[in-house]
A and B are shown apart, each in its own frame.
Chain A
Amino acid sequence: MTSTALKNSTLRRTALYVVLIAGALIMVFPFVWTVVTSITPGATLTTTPKIIPDDPSLAPYFELFDRVPFARVIMNSLLIAGVSTILQVVTSAMAAYVFARLPFPGRGAIFVVYLATMMIPFQVLIVPLFAEMKTLGLINTYWGAILPTIASAFGVFLLRQAMSTVPYDLDQAATLDGAGHFRIFFQIMLPLIRPALATLTVFAFLNTWNSFLWPLIILRDPLMQTLPVALSSLQGQFSTQWDVLMAGSVISIIPMFALYVFAQRYIVQGVAGTGLK
C-alpha cells in the first residue's frame, strides 16, 4: 500500500468513528439525561438540566418508593413478563417443531393462519378480549394479563425457520438409535437453535415488559399495576416532579438492559437464522 492510500484509509476510518460516535451520543443523550434528572432532587420540566448535577442524591428514588407501592409494581412486572416469556418460548418451540418436522394434512393452512394473526392490530381484540376475561373472572389477575400473550405467531415463525436449517440427517441418526420425537426435540433441536431461542426470549420479554395498553385495561387495582402503567399514572400525579418520574423510568430500563447485554451476542445470529438472509 502506498503511503497516500494508507493515509487515506486512516482518514476515512477516523471520519467513520467521528460520525458513529456522534450518532451514538444522540442515541445515548436522552438516557444520560434521564439518569441525571433522576438524581437531581427538585428537578422540574422548566429547570435547565445540567449534565453534572450540583447536588446529586438518591432522594427521588426514596420518594418514589415512599409514595407508590413501587416494589410491588416491580414484582408484578417481573412476574408477568417472566411467566409470559417462559410460556411463549416453550409453546412456540413445541409448535415450531410440528411445522418444521411433523407433516400432516392441513398443516400449511394452520401455519398461514398463524402468520395472518400478525396483521391484526391488537386494538381490534381489546373489547372482545375484555368481555371474555370478565366471563372467565380474570379481570385484575396476573393470568388475565398473561394469557393473551402466550400464543406467539412471531415466535413460532422465528423458531420454525431456525429448525428448518437443522439437517434431517441428525434426526434420522437419532431415530435409528431409537429416539422418539420428544428426545429429538429436547436433545437435538433445542441445543442447535439456541441463538433463535435467545432472540425470542429477548423480544418476548421486551414486549411483555414494555406492554402498555392491555395491562392498563385489565389490571385496574394500583397494587396489580405493571411498570409502564404505573409510570404513566405517575406522570399524572407527579407532573411537576420530573426527578421522581425519571427515577421510575431508570428502574424500568434496568432489567431489559441487563437481559440485552446478556443475550446480545446471539441476537444478530438469531435473526440471521430466520432464513431472512
Chain B
Amino acid sequence: MSTITLRAAAAEASVSAPPPAAARRKPPKGKRLKYALTIAVFLLPSLIPLVMFVLGPMVSAAWTSLHSWNLIGPMQWIGLDNYIFLLTDPATHQAFLHTVYYIVGYLPLVYVGGLALALALNTALKGRAFLRGVYFLPVITSWVVVALVWRWLLNPSTGVVNSVLAWFGIEGPGWWADPAWAMPSIILASAWKDLGFVMVLLLAGLQAINPDLYEAAELDGAGWWRRLFSITLPMLSPSTFFVIVLSLINGFQVFDQVYVMTGGGPNNASQVVVQQVYDLTFRYGQAGMASALSWLLFFVILIVTLIQFYGQRRWVNYD
C-alpha cells in the first residue's frame, strides 16, 4: 500500500497552483541564493536518503542484472543474457501468469466488497464509526499474524472453514495444501485483509460527491440502482481509478502473504514473480538473474500503469 501516488501525474496537470505574483519578478542575487538555500534545507533531508537507499541500489541492481553473480565471488559480465534467458524461460512465464491470476481474483473481490461497505457505512447508521473500525482492523495487522491465523482457518482437516462447510454437507477443498486451491486461499486472505483499506479510499470519494445531485435525482424519481449507476459510480470514477492503479501496482508486487502462507507452493502452484526474485537470490544465489527479473517486473508495472493513465480519459470523470 505504499503507493498512493500515480494519481499525481494526473493531478499535476490540474492542481498546479499559480505562483504568487511577487515570485515572478526576478529577485536580486542575494535573495536568490537564500531561496536556493531554503529549498536545499527543505528538500535534502528527504532527497539524500532517497538517493542513497532507493535510487542508488536500484541503479546498482540494473548493473548487477548484466552480470552473472552468486553473491560471494566476483561478478562476471554477460550483457543481456539474463534477460534473454528469463524471457524464454517457462518458469518466468508461469510466475507472471500466477501473478496475473492473483490480480484477476483479488481486484474484483476487494473493489465490489469495498464499494458495498463504503456505500453502507456512508449512510447515517448508529455505530457507523465502530463498524468502520472493525472492518479496518485487518489492515493494521501484520501479514505474519494474518497468515498464521488464515493457515489455521483454512486448515484442510481441522480448520474452521471446512468444519462449517461440513455442517452443510460440503466437503471443503485442501486450500493451501492443494495446488489448485493455493492461489484462491491467498486471494481470499488478501481480500479479507485489504477490504477495509479499499473501503476507506472509496468512502473518501463518496464524501466528496455533491449531495444536491442525489436530491435532484430523487425528485426526478430515480431509484437506488439508478442513482448508483448514474451518479455514484461516474462521480466515484477518480477513486475507482486510483484503487485499480494501486491494486495493480501492489498486486504485481505481491509477496508477504505468499511467502508466509505457501512459500510459492505446493508444487510451485502459487509461485509469483517477487517470490521468484527472492528464491533466485537467497535459495539459488543467482543475484544477477534476480536483478534482471526485478527490472522486468518494474517495466511491466510501468507499462501497465502508463496504459491506465492513457485509458483513463475514456472513463474517469474529473469534474
Contact = CB atoms under 8 A, between A and B. Distances in A.
A28 B134 contact: yes
Contacts of B165: none
A137 to B, nearest CB: 15
A27 B137 contact: yes
A70 interface: no
A181 B39 CA distance: 10
Interface residues of B, number: 108
B103 interface: no
B4 to A, nearest CB: 5
Contact of B142 (A97, A114, A132, A252): A252
A83 B138 CA distance: 24
B305 interface: yes
B133 A261 contact: yes
A131 B71 CA distance: 10
Contact of A24 (B135, B143, B274): B135
Nearest to A19: B120
A114 B12 contact: no
Interface string B274-302: 10011001000001001100110110011
Binding site of B, secondary structure by majority: helix, strand, loop or mixed? helix
A16 B117 CA distance: 10
B5 A45 contact: no
A188 interface: no
Interface stretch (B16-24, B82-90, B171-179, B212-220): B16-24
A36 B294 CA distance: 42
Interface of B: 1-9, 11-12, 15, 17-20, 22-23, 35-36, 38-39, 41-43, 45-47, 49-50, 52-58, 60-61, 64, 71, 117, 120-121, 123, 125, 129, 131-146, 148-150, 152-153, 155, 158, 160, 192, 195-196, 200-201, 203-205, 207-208, 235-236, 238-239, 242, 249, 252-253, 255-256, 259-260, 274, 277-278, 281, 287, 290-291, 294-295, 297-298, 301-302, 305, 318
Contacts, number: 295
A14 to B, nearest CB: 11
Please list the 3 inter-chain residue pairs (A to B) with the smallest Cβ-Cβ separation, ordered nearest first. A151-B50, A124-B294, A210-B142
A108 B58 CA distance: 21
B137 A168 contact: no
B200 A118 contact: no
Given A33-B152, A110-B47, 16 more contacts: A23-B117, A24-B134, A30-B138, A34-B149, A97-B42, A104-B39, A111-B12, A119-B249, A120-B298, A124-B58, A127-B64, A231-B144, A231-B145, A272-B204, A276-B205, A277-B208
